[in-house]
Amino acid sequence: MSLKHFGKAALIVAIVAACGKNRVQVTDNGLKYKIHEQSEAARKGKVGDILTLHLTLMNSKDSVLRDTHKEGAPFQMLLQVPPFKGSYEEGLTMLGKGDSATFYVSADSLFTRAMQPFPPGVQKGTDIGIAVKILNIQTEEEYKKAQAADYEKQKGIDAKVIADYVAKNGLAGKVQKTESGVNYVVTQPGAGPTPQRGDVVQVHYAGRLLNGKEFDNSRTNPQAGGKPAQFQIGVGMVIPGWEEGVMKMHKGEKATLIIPSTLGYGPRGNQAIPPNSVLLFDIELMDIQKGQTGQPGMPQPQPQPGR
């Protein structure tokens, strides 16, 4: 083929590929999708891979139901075998790092099969739009290795942040430290016993960022109704930094816990806590009950790397 004809053929291929973008297509299994950006050379996701992506969920009227761009951290998921025909997991196997697409999934299949109620704004018989941007694709081994490296790096960053905070606030002679790195300052000693693993504790608490902004308070949180939080020690109901700190306290004691992000909400944070945040918790240990089953007092964080 001459260079002239080769150039024309390449141009035709490029035009055909471009026409496929931003056009709704349908797979053999019934998944409707629209490709926005796609690199043929990029490694595609496979079942068992860990995907890091941003996603935006929209109802049939394009109203946004969820947008991870506004949550401070991307979404991570294990790519599984598609649970039903037309599920967006099938579409994710078409994409590689840097690719983007929108998938249109039956709301009936998505929520009914998951035995979840339809969220506000979503009606039966409609489609949910799932716009995704793939940020990374890793095997489980690659993911664990990267997480462990990030965890160790963040431990060093947190330690310096805490040391600076302790020095700035004149706490050097008052602060105590657990082996894992939780710093705590007793503000009112207690004469009672300390809790052991398996015990149920009741605590009042106020959570703050290092800049002083309060993000939760058991006494004013309407969901808690002003009651102390109750949880069982040692079974993962609360963040690790809480368990370590509370186990150092005596009944009736008040203390301020300075918790590194690696023992808190980690690189994901939550709606009120930015990623990789060192946290302050003012804790009052109200009661200890031996070996009973409590209810979670704080939301369970994402599993921390290296744990």
- Ordered structural domains, the chain, with CATH: 22-138 (3.10.50.40), 142-289 (3.10.50.40)
Q: At 178, phi and psi to the nearest 5?
A: -85, 170
pLDDT of residue 81 exceeding 70, the answer is: yes
How far the first Cα of the chain sits from its last, in Å, is 59
Q: What residues contact residue 194 under an 8 Å CB cut-off, 6+ apart?
A: 247, 248, 249, 250, 251
Q: Across all residues in the chain, what is the average pLDDT?
A: 87
- Is residue 32 over pLDDT 70? yes
Cβ pair 190, 251 in contact under 8 A: yes
* All residues at 6 or more sequence positions from 31 whose CB lies less than 8 Å from its CB, including other chains: 85, 86, 87, 88, 90, 91, 103, 104, 105
Q: What is the mean pLDDT of residues 142-164?
A: 95
Residues 261-284: what's their mean pLDDT? 92
Task: Please give the biggest Cα pair distance in the chain.
Answer: 91
- Is residue 180 scored above 60 in pLDDT? yes
What's the rounded mean pLDDT across residues 34-47?
Answer: 94
- Residue 203: pLDDT over 60: yes
If DSSP codes are grouped into helix, strand and coil, which group holds residue 12?
A: helix
In whole angstroms, how far apart are CA 198 and each of 79, 251, 303? 35, 16, 20
Amino acid at position 172, single letter = A
What band does 292 get if pLDDT is binned at 50, 70 and 90? low
Tens digit of each residue's pLDDT (9 = 90 or more) over 85-94: 999 999 999 9
Question: What local confidence, expressed as pLDDT, does residue 16 receive?
Answer: 41
Give the pLDDT score at 14. Answer: 43
Q: Could you give the CA distance from residue 186 to residue 184 in angstroms, rounded to a whole number?
A: 7
